[in-house]
Structure 1
């Protein structure tokens, strides 16, 4: 029981990488504590809080959280970024975010609830003295920064952003960043957005993940004999279906607008099956994800549509006759 009481949560290792990049951009000496977390999949929340506090005391600049958030990249958020960038609209992305938010901040449960015409996104209370105004601001700013840079934020309208902490001198900077009214000294730190925004489609065509998926699909297609237009569409459908956890043959054939029987017949003519094609795609993606040191095996398993890490490990061993850990060590 004592262990549970003393548990203060952990954060995704990519946040340490983000802070490292920020230090470099500011030409600041890297603290030893920050150096030590660079190759970790996760580290203690209290270390994250202390690193932010130390940086704030060193720079003494207003709205530091917004500056940090401007530097966020998909790799800093890990699995949630990969998944969000394959979603079709904000509602779908938030649904998946709710499922996996603990992979970024574990120890502070997320609540997504409707309040009249608005959707509230907020984290419940951490242990006393754990959360600070800066950690709250950074958490929300990172989410908004990701939307701003990678999910066409300019087309998403927020209603209000609330923070528990006292009001700073430069509220206008916050309102410029979030593009909505920002209120301080509120009961909760939260984002409020109109429910109507949930069906807004994300931008298409130049998403980083979509480019990656297209390149991977093309690479795989080049290895297949007698490639057809159906094969190309099939690869794309499986790749994106894995991100949405909708990769069963029924979902894929519906996306291709053909029957399950037609798809099976097409694959049979090529001497393969849907299961074998799925294994090819999963193996290719697994190797890409394993190259990212901040993605743990559990996260990679989720990205590939496995409910258990052990199932992914068994499958990988069957594909390549080597464990994921061994493959990662060989290709670091």
Structure 2
């Protein structure tokens, strides 16, 4: 009893908080699955207005109650992963400003993620991060302050998925993660493909730490340059990059032209016309993105070729093998043997 009371007091300590914008990824994940804001407000014991315009700092216990309520209302134990996938720089002004400075100095993805960890304490008090180098790989370790709390699984999965998603926003590329580890045990409702889709890596449970392992070469990737295009550029050359970006985010579902057009707010025919004006086509961009990411996964991840083919939206590994052979002149296995360190 004493341990439980002590833990409850620690969670509710005034110094333990998340900044208001930190709840936005949870709300987005909840609403995008058809959740009703008023129902979540009632379950989390807050008002609709509180969620729309949250206070500057939110006690950790209130945040835990919100994410648990959202998961339970949707009957979705993977809500933490989906919240992480909705995290972005727009949620955290202090990170956005710092990372804009790093972009201006043309530094690397590794520099940016180190900055994120340095400023983490200004965003939340849910845990602390550290970095360890292991041979040619780097492990990002996240130590949760409230690992025994009922919300720990959702929170830890959200944080690690958020790091991966943030890295992808910064680099403009899908991140080939080598391994993801969790302190919590393998969930009874564990479904491999859903975790594979969320983390694009092998997931291990009941480990000594929550962590992500990435190849050092990946952290040397340059940051994506985000310019302020003119109106003409945004309607022309920038469209190609926007299409490629959306294809990358949706590869696992083998996205169709109509789907990407709808996401970008264009008609299917209008998007086709704009791409043709740029000397390309949707099918060509889809092939380019698939081949580019296939090479990244083959070189820097620990996924099997079958798993990689599934992440790229191929129903059969044989189809992926034929596609890769046409694009690179060798089989995926041979290319991997030639390019792995």
Identify the TM-score tier after normalising by the shorter chain: 0.5 to 0.7
1:191 aligns to what? 212
Count of residues in Structure 1 that have an aligned counterpart in Structure 2: 208
Quote the Cα distance in structure 2 between the aligned partners of 1:202 and 1:10: 30
1:19 aligns to what? 26
Match of 2:46 among 27, 33, 37: 33
Distance 1:199 1:108, change over 3 A: same
Distance 1:39 1:48, change over 3 A: closer
Q: Is the partner of 2:139 in helix, strand or coil?
A: strand
How far does residue 129 in structure 1 lie from its aligned partner after superposition? 3.1
Could you list the per-position Cα deviations for residues 288-315 of structure 1 after superposition, in whole angstroms to 9, with x for gaps in the alignment?
xxxxxxxxxxxxxxxxxxxxxxxxxxxx
Residue 42 (str. 1) matches residue 57 (str. 2): yes
How far does residue 128 in structure 1 lie from its aligned partner after superposition? 6.0
Quote the Cα distance in structure 2 between the aligned partners of 1:7 and 1:116: 41
Q: Is the partner of 1:172 in helix, strand or coil?
A: helix
Q: In the TM superposition, what are the counterparts of 1:283-322 in structure 2 within 5 Å?
A: none
Distance 1:77 1:151, change over 3 A: farther
Quote the Cα distance in structure 1 between the aligned partners of 2:14 and 2:142: 17
1:69 aligns to what? 84
Unaligned runs of 5+ in 1: 216-332
How far does residue 198 in structure 1 lie from its aligned partner after superposition? 2.0
Match of 2:113 among 87, 94, 102: 94
Instruction: Please tell me the root mean square deviation across aligned C-alpha atoms, in Å.
Output: 3.0
Distance 1:179 1:51, change over 3 A: same
Match of 2:222 among 171, 196, 201: 201
Could you list the per-position Cα deviations for residues 193-216 of structure 1 after superposition, in whole angstroms to 9, with x for gaps in the alignment?
122222111222xx3xx439x99x
Distance 1:13 1:91, change over 3 A: same
Q: In the TM superposition, what are the counterparts of 1:238-317 in structure 2 within 5 Å?
A: none
- TM-score by length of structure 2 reads 0.54
1:55 aligns to what? 70
Unaligned runs of 5+ in 2: 1-5, 232-341
Match of 2:198 among 177, 181, 185: 177
Match of 2:171 among 128, 151, 155: 151
Quote the Cα distance in structure 2 between the aligned partners of 1:107 and 1:56: 18
Match of 1:211 among 199, 205, 228: 228
Match of 1:117 among 117, 126, 136: 136
How far does residue 59 in structure 1 lie from its aligned partner after superposition? 1.2
- TM-score by length of structure 1 reads 0.55
1:8–1:45 contact (8 Å) kept in structure 2: no
Q: Is the partner of 1:67 in helix, strand or coil?
A: helix
Could you list the per-position Cα deviations for residues 182-241 of structure 1 after superposition, in whole angstroms to 9, with x for gaps in the alignment?
11221111111122222111222xx3xx439x99xxxxxxxxxxxxxxxxxxxxxxxxxx
